[in-house]
Amino acid sequence: MNTATVPTPTPSTAGARPAAALSLRGVTKTYGQLRALDELDLEIGNGEIVALLGPNGAGKSTAMEMMVGLAVPNSGEVTVLGADPVTATRTGLIGTMLQAGALLPDQSVRSMLRMLHALQAHPMPLDAAVEQADVADLLKRRIGTLSGGQAQRVRFAIALLGDPRVLLLDEPTVGMDIGTRRAFWDQMRTVAATGRTVVFATHHLDEAEREAGRVIVMDRGRVVADGTGPEISAIVGGRVITLRGAEPGQVAQLPGVESAAADETEPARVRALCSDSDAVLAALFTGPLAGSVHEVLVSAPGLEEAFLRITDHSDTDTDTDTDTDGADR
Ligand code: ADP
Ligand code: MG
């Protein structure tokens, strides 16, 4: 829709709704037989901070490439603040930190930022971008010598150069250690507080829960869940019990346990999703594990459980076609 210049309210916009920051309607993208996006509908309002979650191959990166005009849909419509994606990119309405964004290895960070800064239609002052992305300490470095996390900070600075109203960050904290991740999100929050719309894709569920007001889960080119972190988590009922002193296989046998596995961040701890936490606790403290089990914690299920449940294909699939590119699992 071309509502390009004068946002005249029409009778149909009784609620005086401004153009969405991002709007994808019925967007389909195929690569040969593969449907990377399947009639994807997505609307993101001004100033929202949105996390895009989903397994590898869900279509997160393809959706972001559409939003900046790097991929063209087979059908459907994409707009950025009412403009088409190519125009929005050229005029600096939208800035991106894409997964595949190449950097020139032989240049210094400073010279590359200067060069890209000169290409912007309405740049933010270079010093401001440097400060907001916290790359002042990297300016003299040759790009080829940066660590993965440092290169991500430089990509963040590049995304900010055009002073964009909408920021897309595709897995921005890949290659960062925990301390650098924290610092990155501190910076990002400052940037978002200026009223920008921020959409980021991540595999870190804790980041989604903490940083985003809205979490959208994608799978197979579609949106399969959309809500606040707690709303998405609430899709999964029951309780999570974590404990030490037992094997996942032993815990999985207990009455009231749906599934049990080693905790991702703390492998010595068992994490069990329970349909009946009272029954599980009773069995834990009266059964054969009673002497060995300790540090038992009961909590509400998190985004992690919701995410696994929402994107679990085991009841509809032969189980072999989904994880062909799931190299990091
Ligand atoms: P995500 O970012 O969620 O991991 P992608 O958007 O990168 O997912 O990929 C969605 C699907 O589209 C995947 O199956 C991927 O292999 C495929 N795909 C993405 N880009 C291309 C391309 N340029 N050519 C062929 N297939 C592609
Ligand atoms: Mg991706």
Is 235 a residue whose pLDDT tops 90? Answer: no
pLDDT at site 234? 78
Whether ligand 1 lies within 6 angstroms of the CB of 36 is answered as yes
Q: Which long-range contacts (CB under 8 A, 24 or more apart) does 264-271 make?
A: 264/304, 268/244, 269/242, 269/243, 269/244, 269/295, 270/242, 270/243, 270/244, 270/246, 271/240, 271/241, 271/242
Catalogue all structural domains in the chain, each as residue range(s) with its CATH number.
22-233 (3.40.50.300), 239-300 (3.30.70)
Amino acid at 159: A
pLDDT at site 207? 87
| C-alpha to C-alpha distance for 50 and 42, rounded to whole angstroms | 11
pLDDT at site 103? 78
| C-alpha to C-alpha distance for 206 and 265, rounded to whole angstroms | 11
pLDDT in tens, 277-291: 899 999 998 989 998
Please report the DSSP string for 116-173 in residue order: HHHT-SSPPPHHHHHHHTT-GGGTTSBGGG--HHHHHHHHHHHHHTT--SEEEEESTT
The best mutation among 31, 52, 174, 222 to test binding of ligand 1, ranked by most ligand atoms within 8 Å of the C-beta, falls on 31
pLDDT at site 6? 44
**Cβ–Cβ < 8 Å for 35, 63:** no
Six-digit token string for 108: 């210094």
Is 13 a residue whose pLDDT tops 60? Answer: no
Phi, psi of 276 (to 5 degrees): -140, 90
pLDDT bucket at 4, cuts 50 / 70 / 90 = very low
CA 99 – ligand 2 centroid, Å: 7
The closest-lying atom of ligand 1 relative to the alpha carbon of residue 64 is 6
Is 18 a residue whose pLDDT tops 80? Answer: no
| C-alpha to C-alpha distance for 203 and 175, rounded to whole angstroms | 12
**Cβ–Cβ < 8 Å for 304, 242:** no
Question: What residue's CA is closest to ligand 1, atom 26?
Answer: 31
Whether ligand 1 lies within 6 angstroms of the CB of 60 is answered as yes
Q: Which long-range contacts (CB under 8 A, 24 or more apart) does 256-265 make?
A: 256/280, 256/283, 264/304
pLDDT at site 11? 44
Question: Which three-class secondary structure state does DSSP give residue 300?
Answer: coil
Is 320 a residue whose pLDDT tops 80? Answer: no
pLDDT bucket at 205, cuts 50 / 70 / 90 = confident
Phi, psi of 290 (to 5 degrees): -55, -40
Whether ligand 1 lies within 6 angstroms of the CB of 277 is answered as no
Is 128 a residue whose pLDDT tops 90? Answer: yes
| C-alpha to C-alpha distance for 16 and 18, rounded to whole angstroms | 6
**Mean pLDDT score, 105-115:** 93
Q: Which residues of 112-150 are buried (b: 16+ CB within 10 A; e: fewer)?
A: bbeebbeebeebbebeebbebbbbeebbeeebeebeebb
CA neighbours closer than 13 Å in the CB half-sphere of residue 239: 13
**Mean pLDDT score, 44-61:** 93
Name the closest ligand to CA 218.
1
Is 2 a residue whose pLDDT tops 80? Answer: no
Q: Name the E strands within 164-230.
A: 166-170, 197-201, 214-219, 222-227
Strand-pair category, 49-53 with 214-219: parallel
Nearest Cα neighbor of 83 from 4, 165, 162 is 4
CA neighbours closer than 13 Å in the CB half-sphere of residue 303: 26
DSSP 194: T
pLDDT at site 232? 84
CA 66 – ligand 1 centroid, Å: 12
